Amino acid sequence: MTGSSAVSLWDETSEEGFQALPMTADIKTEVAIVGGGYTGLSTALHAAEKGLDACVLEARQIGFGGSGRNVGLVNAGLWLPPQDVRAKLGGERGARLVDILGEGPDCVMSLVERHQIRCELTRSGTIHAAHSQSGFKDLARRAEEWTRLGAPVRLLSRQEAEEKIGSSAFHGGLLDARAGTINPMGYVRGLARAAHAAGARIHTGAAVTKLVKQPDGWLLETGAGVVRAKSVVLATNAYSDDLWPGLKQSFVPIHYFQVATVPLGARVQGILPERQGIWDTGQIMFSLRRDAADRLIIGSMGAVIGGEKGLSERWAARKLKRLFPGLGPVEFEKSWHGQIAMTGDHLPRIHRLDEGLYTPIGYNGRGIAPGTVFGKAMAELIAGGSEADLPMPVTGVKPETMRGLKAGFYRAAFSANQLIKSF
């Protein structure tokens, strides 16, 4: 159902309950961070730990955007196989990005442990499931390269995938032992708590309406006052607006929706018994996981269509029936969607918008580990590091080719997919 004001199931079930303070006066700081998601709060936490005065300005609430609406799969790497990343970025830079993001889940899990973030962390890995024989061949190519690089991945046969997932619908899978799952809202609120404890100032309800370059830095205007900062990080990703001209035109926005069942108890003991999260190799991919309360959360590309017993719930019911014929009818508790920033080459970006003004953007649906890692890198840069040490080469902003047409095509295709597969 969609009647609740909560942005997702995770908003309602998170054990972390960080409450930020509203902005009540003008602020002077070393680094202003616009956006209270994974990237912004990782930047704030790591900057504060380096002794920098950091201030986070979030327009709504912590985790309101993609961070609180995420699937919660803490995956290593990017959508692209490692060899394709190297081909696009060049051998040295590509290999470095593969290494950095290969260690991304460990970065997340280390923060969870160090700050005792209550986010239902599991460490049993994730499974990339083959929806077809061609999908399995793609996974075999990925597995071969990750294995060459020394990563703890394992190609699963059809029978092994059935044992791990509890469904015979897949042609095999790729199990990545580096990965895991979290309650994504619990994690982002935990980052906020840790950043605040380290000395960062965090304000919600502080929408930045204007950004003006000054001789000694930047002036950010909000409805509650102004912030003066030496450096600024725009950490708004798929929720970027018109604050900086052309930024939101640099990616294609797409939605990803999820539907959660009520807790199913013993009925789901044979489904994902080790609690790995999965996503498949289909062009319009879907995801599935089981949370700590034994709900099944299933999702796919597109927006929620209809409320209780609407199209998205019918799609979810039909999909679960196909995957798990013995499960029987289920009731749904919550449905929601978030927004993803897709780039044409499926690689993230780090843009230098002006002197002292940066934005990491375009995670292509891989926000948790890359957002955490890129936020840490931003803090290191602002603390005196070099752009050459960033995970990605620094670039200027370029508009995404045929952005409007692509966005419209994706909306239509994803809606049609829900309709066709709901029968």
Residue boundaries of the structural domains of the chain? 9-125+178-404
DSSP β-ladder status, 54-58 and 201-204: parallel
Write out the H or E segment, with its range, that includes residue 28. Answer: strand 27-34
User: Given its phi and psi angles, is residue 225 left (phi above 0), alpha (psi -120 to 50 degrees) or beta?
Assistant: left
H/E stretch holding 99 reads helix 91-102
CA distance 128 to 277: 9
CA pair distance 165, 96, nearest whole angstrom:
33
In 3D space, the residue among 319, 342, 136 whose CA is nearest the CA of residue 256 turns out to be 342
Tell me how far CA of residue 233 lies from CA of 10, 237, 371, in angstroms: 26, 11, 13
Residues 6+ apart with CB under 8 A from 121: 109, 112, 180, 181, 182
Tokens found for residue 175: 């199990």
**The domain 9-125+178-404: what is its CATH number?**
3.50.50.60
Q: What is the DSSP string of 159-188?
A: HHHHHHHS-S--S-EEEETT-EE--HHHHH
Model pLDDT, residue 21: 87
User: Measured between alpha carbons, how far is 233 from 239 in angstroms, rounded to an integer?
Assistant: 14
d(CA 251, CA 180): 28
Low-confidence ranges of the chain (pLDDT < 70): 1-4
Residue 22 contacts by C-beta under 8 Å, 6 or more apart in sequence? 203, 204, 205, 206, 224
Closest C-alpha to 278, from 383, 180, 404, 403: 180
Q: Would you state the structure tokens that stand for residue 223, as one six-digit string?
A: 């409805």
pLDDT (tens digit per residue) in 275-299: 999 999 999 999 999 999 999 999 9
- In whole angstroms, give the CA distance from residue 357 to residue 174: 39
What is each CA distance from 346 to 79, 290, 363, 386, in whole angstroms? 7, 27, 8, 25
* pLDDT given for residue 4 in this prediction: 60
Identify the burial level of 272 via C-beta atoms within 10 angstroms of its C-beta, where 0-12 means exposed, 13-18 middle and 19 or more buried. Answer: buried
Collapsing DSSP to helix, strand or coil, 149 comes out as coil
124: number of Cβ within 10 Å: 17
Tokens 């006066």 found at: 25
224-257 burial code (b ≥16 CB/10 A, e <16): bebbbbbbbbbbbbbbbeebbeebbebbbbbbbb
Rounded CA gap, 303 and 301, in Å?
Answer: 7
